[in-house]
Chains A and B, each alone.
Chain A
Amino acid sequence: MELLKGLDLTAVQVWVAFVLTLMVFSYIFGDNPLFRLAEHIFVGTAAGYVTVLVYHTIFRPRLLEPLAQDPAGRVYLLVPVLLGLLLLAKGKRSTSWMGNISMAWLFGVGAALALGGALLGTLASQLRSSWVSLNPADYAGHPMGLINALLLALGTIGVLLYFYYTEPGVKGAGRLLAGIRKGWGRLGRWFMLVTFGALFASAIIARFTLLVDRLHFLLQTLGLLGG
């Protein structure tokens, strides 16, 4: 380690990354040992890195050192340790029930946090954002705002009507309402199709961005980009 301290491993790291990138790109020609090797190296190094990271950022500063400094005053820290040890019992069928205590704790806390955050952070805010004004006077000088508001209203109500399966009636006003619901529901269906297309396009852009980044890295490593 003393020898490695004086060495600049940046170049080595870059070339290792370069080779590994090419190995991953070899998947263009189908599954092959090079791709598998790069995949296994990535998984292995990630697991090792996380283990070391968890020790240095959680176990040592938050458990071991406090217990070493004040064992009597930090006894409560053994509770999460015990819960964590119970999770290891899930590895064996006969003792897996012991891990249910820790799992119940994790799921309970996670569900409570998710529910509370969703109610305040997502549901309430989305409802308030969907409550838009359709009065043109409110959009004086901003015609796109009015169009956005109309599209928002049409799309939101249309999607809701698309999932409304109860027929109001077959005579008179009921028949008219059924026609409106069906027509507006079809419009809401198209809103959903456009939304799904946007989601897929966004995913395509994200993956292409990653490809551009890797190619940029390769060209930069080869010195072709001058930087």
Chain B
Amino acid sequence: MIYCPNCGTANRDGSKFCNECGYRLTGAEGVLCPICGAQNRVGSVFCTQCGSRLIPVEAPAEPPAPPTPAAGEEAVPDWLAKLREAAQREVSIGEEAEALGQPEEEAPPAGPPAEELPQAPVFVIEEGGAEWAPPDWLSELRARAVGEPEQAPAAPSEPLSEASAPLVFAEEEAVSEVPDWLQRLRAEISAEEAPAPPPTGPLDAEAAVPAFPEEAAPVFPGGLEEIPDWLKELGPPPSEQEVIPPGPGVIPGVAVEEEELPAWLREATGFGEAPEVPAEGVPAGEIPEWIMALRPGAQEPTIEVPPEGYEGDSYSEGILADVQGLLPIELPVAKPPAPEETGSLLESVPAEDEAVQIFRQVIESKPPARRVPKPSRPRIGRVRLLGALVLIGVICLSLLSPGQWFISTARAVPDPVNAAYEAVEELAPGDAVVVAFDFDPASAGEMTPLAQVLTEHLMTRGARVIAVSTLPAGPQVAQDILDQAAAARGGKSYGTDYVNLGYLPGREAGMRDFLLNPFNAERRDFVGGRPIAEIPVLQRLQSIQDVKLLVIIGASAQDVRWWMEQAAGLARVPMVAGISAAAEPYILPYYQGEGRLLQGVVAGVLGAGDYGALIGSPEPAARLEALQWALLVALIAMLIVAAVSVFTPART
């Protein structure tokens, strides 16, 4: 059975032409290669050009099913079909040449030695008559072909095939029809196959060179007798006229080494290729559809829209108008497909669509106007409110009805208060006393009773009271207290018995400045702004040494300490402090001990009450009673809270 290399139709053994397409199955001198179309000698097992097997190897039991003509048409690539057509045409030309009396036997059987070959053969083309020098690569190929006579048989055992000469002769006639690469291929074939002496004559002389020197060496030089046993066992020896059909990649029953075949042949025939096995773990049938949709071939073809104004091969407008034979400027195929086209091909799961819709709604929907809760005011604890009301009620009751609540304000006057009282008592009438009112309205509730009893006592003793303050708001507070004390004791007037020098800026610096030069001529009084020289109470006073007592009435322990510290280094002036209850622990140590700076200390309302009791002023005593009640209520409240906290289990 001979399979047509053109259409694959099975033909009877010995057929010279295909029953289906009329393709020449065998040449006059050999067998056409079904792969490359080259002419091989009769009996050749492999093609001399491409290495394809020419003798079919058939399993006796299972002959290969002939491919359908349609399938054969599709399997043959265009280049091969063209090549076959060219070969067929050359065969016809060869036949014509044979008819003209140019037998192939005229070709020399073997070429001369390589050293005799000219390095640069010169060909003379009959038509043009000009000399043509073959390129170097062709010369090398020719030299190599000529230099391999030992490998090739010295002389072909059979005459050259009919097609070998037409292949060469067609060089001149079909040069305009055959593409360049085929011409180069022919030239290369001619160079390799022709061990003939360098042609010096016209190009026709080259036709005498056998195109396929390998054909001179039969595959089985000894004839069919030399066919190996294993091949004989496969079946009857193939006829010399048989043509090997284009088989698939794997030839059953024949172990052909893969290295024996060229790469392009293995690729073309599929020889040695592994069977198509789906990727491990990912069967082909399980590929998601969305991936299949993304394949380039799966996308919709791009609509080719010609550029604007392009009509066929010219433009009707623009600078290229009326110029024929133009290509469109922009290739529509370069345009990427529209996103909608690609997106439409994607398929998603309904659950995903639902999720996408929900996500889109969330993104596109406006956030609802959330009402930000206003920070609520801290809730007033009932215990806190109740405690405050009880405390206020007790104080008010104590103030409204003093001496009615079984609590006595009579107590032993502490030593610091007694010492302060004694210090004032030692003053003589007319002695100058500086009183520092270092408190402001913020602490006047506590300090005012204390300052009142002290100033009243000073005025009672007839001392000249000189008021100052290191706080901006102090002078006005001092003025109010002095006026009240003067009114209480009667007969005392501003300027004559007491004066207010006002604010001393600079805190420690102001204190030190006053102690260094208390009666500076530039000082003015607080009330009228009069100069010191015009104030009678300040007459005959030159320095701090003329002052007999320094009374410091301060709400802050820091202010009192600054006065004491500055005065201790500048003047040996006796000092008495009237301080807030909060400052008592800090100031009291200055009264005690050998190095004490204070002659006496009167602290808070308690001290004011004690001092008021000494000078006979009832005002502080009433407040003292209320304060004691308040402290008693606070003590009880703290005890209750402590008891509750002790017996209440801690929250976890």
Contacts and interface: CB of A to CB of B under 8 A. Distances in A.
A127 B443 CA distance: 32
Contacts of B472: 49-50, 53-54
Interface string A41-64: 000001001100110111001100
Contacts of A208: 627, 630-631, 634
A66 B521 CA distance: 12
A138 interface: no
A126 B595 contact: yes
Nearest to B580: A206
Interface string A129-159: 1111000000000000000000000000000
A95 interface: no
A113 B566 contact: yes
Nearest to A66: B522
**In the complex, the 10 A-B pairs of residues with the closest C-beta atoms, listed nearest first:** A129-B593, A117-B565, A213-B445, A121-B565, A128-B595, A125-B595, A206-B582, A121-B568, A205-B581, A209-B446
Interface in B301-345: none
Contact of B568 (A49, A61, A117, A127): A117
B17 interface: no
Interface string B105-125: 000000000000000000000
A116 interface: yes
B380 A29 contact: yes
Given A56-B529, A206-B604, A213-B445, A198 B509 contact: no
Interface in B267-289: none
Contacts of A225: 399-400
A212 interface: yes
A210 to B, nearest CB: 4
Interface stretch (A96-104, A160-168, A176-184, A214-222): A214-222
A126 B589 contact: yes
Contacts of B377: 30-31
B395 to A, nearest CB: 5
B437 interface: no
B385 A29 contact: yes
24 contacts: A28-B380, A30-B377, A30-B380, A49-B473, A50-B473, A57-B475, A62-B522, A120-B569, A121-B564, A125-B590, A125-B595, A125-B597, A129-B592, A130-B593, A132-B593, A199-B585, A202-B583, A208-B634, A210-B443, A211-B391, A212-B623, A212-B630, A216-B626, A219-B399
Contacts of B505: 54, 58
Contacts, number: 173
The DSSP consensus for interface residues of chain B is helix
Residue from the set A56, A118, A208 with the largest chain B CB neighbour count within 10 Å: A208
The DSSP consensus for interface residues of chain A is helix
A109 interface: yes
Contacts of A127: 595
B606 interface: yes
Interface size bracket, A side: 35 or more
Contact of B524 (A61, A114, A204, A213): A61
Contacts of A113: 508-509, 512, 566
B599 interface: no
B503 interface: yes
Contacts of B595: 124-129
A71 interface: no
B571 to A, nearest CB: 12
Contact of A57 (B526, B562, B564, B631): B526
A213 B385 CA distance: 20
B395 A209 contact: no
B446 A213 contact: yes
Contact of A206 (B400, B446, B507): B446
Nearest to A226: B400
Interface string B567-601: 11100000000001111110001101111110000
Contact of B396 (A31, A198, A215): A215
A198 B567 CA distance: 28
Contacts of B400: 219, 224-225
Nearest to A121: B565
Contacts of A122: 561, 564-565, 590
Contacts of A219: 396, 399-400
B448 interface: yes
Residue from the set A57, A61, A128 with the largest chain B CB neighbour count within 10 Å: A57
Nearest to B555: A206
